Amino acid sequence: EAGVTQSPTHLIKPRGQQATLRCSPISGHTSVYWYQQALGLGLQFLLWYDEGEERNRGNFPPRFSGRQFPNYSSELNVNALELEDSALYLCASSWRGRDEQYFGPGTRLTVT
Amino acid sequence: AQSVTQPDIHITVSEGASLELRCNYSYGATPYLFWYVQSPGQGLQLLLKYFSGDTLVQGIKGFEAEFKRSQSSFNLRKPSVHWSDAAEYFCAAIINAGGTSYGKLTFGQGTILTVHP
C-alpha cells in the first residue's frame, strides 16, 4: 500500500512569490492535514481538510491557504512568501479526523 | 491550554542499553496519544498509539509505551537500543471531541536520541 506522497521534495522561491505544495493521501483516507516544521519552532498544525472542506485551521495568516480535490489530494498555497516561511512542510492523512495520522516525507521550502 | 511536553531535549545511550523517553500532556480530558520517529530530513513515522483500554501499548521496532492517567504521562520505552534507533522522537496528542482543537495533532518539542556503539 502506497503511503502519503508529497511533491516537490524541495522548492526554492524568492521572497514575495507564491509556493504551491502538493499531497496525495493514502488510498481510502479522506482527511488531509498540513503541518509546518520550522527550525526552532517545532511542529505546528496548519490546516485540516476532510471531504473537500476546510475543517480546522492553525494560527497562521490567511496567506497560507489550500484546498482538497475530489480525489482527496490536496494543495497548500503560500502567498507573499517571507523568509520565515522556510521550513519542512509535512502532509498527513487519516481515514477520519479522529484516527491516527500518517505522514509523508515532506517538502522542504526555502525562501531566498 | 492544551500542551504536550517532552522534558528531555537530547538523550544519549549505549547500544544495547534500555531506553525511556518521557512525555507529559496537559488536556482537560484524556486525549489520544501517539509516538512518532523522524530521521534527519524525513517525515514522521508512527511508532504506536493509545486510544483507550490496556495502558501498555506495543508498537513497531520493539517499542512500547505506558499510559499513566495519574501522572498525565505516556512514556516510550525500548529494552535494548540499536544504532539504527538514533533519530528524533515526538510525542503527540489529539483531542477526540469537537471544538477548535479537533483534528489537530499537538506535538512535544521532540527528543533527539544518540546511540553510542
Residue type, B18: S
Contact between chains at A45 and B41 (C-beta distance less than 8 A): no
Residue-wise pLDDT for B4-37, tens only, equals: 999 999 999 999 999 999 999 998 888 899 999 9
Torsion angles phi and psi, residue A33, rounded to 5: -125, 150
Output the pLDDT for position B29: 83
Cα-flanking dihedrals φ and ψ of residue B85, to 5°? -80, -10
pLDDT, tens digit, 9 for 90 and up, residues A38-60: 998 999 999 999 999 999 999 99
Which residues, in sequence order, are CB contacts of B1 under 8 Å at separation 6+? B26
pLDDT range class, residue A110, cuts 50, 70, 90: very high
The nearest alpha carbon in chain A to B40 belongs to A105
pLDDT at A58: 93
Q: What is the pLDDT of residue A97?
A: 61
Q: Is A40 at the interface with chain B, CB within 8 A?
A: no
Residues of chain B with C-beta less than 8 angstroms from the C-beta of A106: 41-43
At residue B101 the predicted structure's pLDDT band, cuts being 50, 70 and 90, is: low
Q: What is the mean pLDDT of residues A60-75?
A: 97
**Chain B partners within 8 Å of A23 (Cβ):** none
Q: pLDDT for A88-105, tens place per residue?
A: 999 999 987 667 899 999
Q: Which three cell numbers stand for residue B7?
A: 522534558
Hey, CA dihedral for A57, A62, A68, A73, is it positive or negative?
negative
Residue B30's pLDDT is what? Answer: 83
Give the three cell numbers for residue A10. 524541495
In chain B, residues with a C-beta closer than 8 Å to the C-beta of A101 are 46, 94, 105
A34, closest residue in chain B (CA to CA): B104
CA B90 to chain A, closest CA, distance in angstroms equals: 9
- DSSP structure string for chain A: ----EEE-SEEEE-TTS-EEEEEEPPTT--EEEEEEEETTTEEEEEEEEETTEEEEE-S--TTEEEEE-TTS-EEEEE-S--GGG-EEEEEEEESSTTS--EE---EEEEE-
Confidence of residue B96 (pLDDT cuts 50, 70, 90): low
CB contact under 8 A, B103 and A48: yes
Q: Which residues of chain B have a CB within 8 Å of the CB of A103? A: 36, 43-46
Which positions in chain A touch B102 (Cβ < 8 Å)?
Answer: 48, 55-56, 97
Tens digit of each residue's pLDDT (9 = 90 or more) over B48-85:
999 989 999 999 999 999 999 999 999 999 999 999 99
Q: Do A43 and B102 touch (CB under 8 A)?
A: no
CA distances from B7 to A38, B4, B11, B25, B109 (A): 20, 10, 11, 11, 8
B2 pLDDT tier (thresholds 50, 70, 90)? confident
Q: What is the pLDDT of residue B44?
A: 96
Residue A94, pLDDT score: 93
Please check whether residue A27 is in contact with residue A76, taking contact to mean a CB–CB distance below 8 angstroms. Answer: no
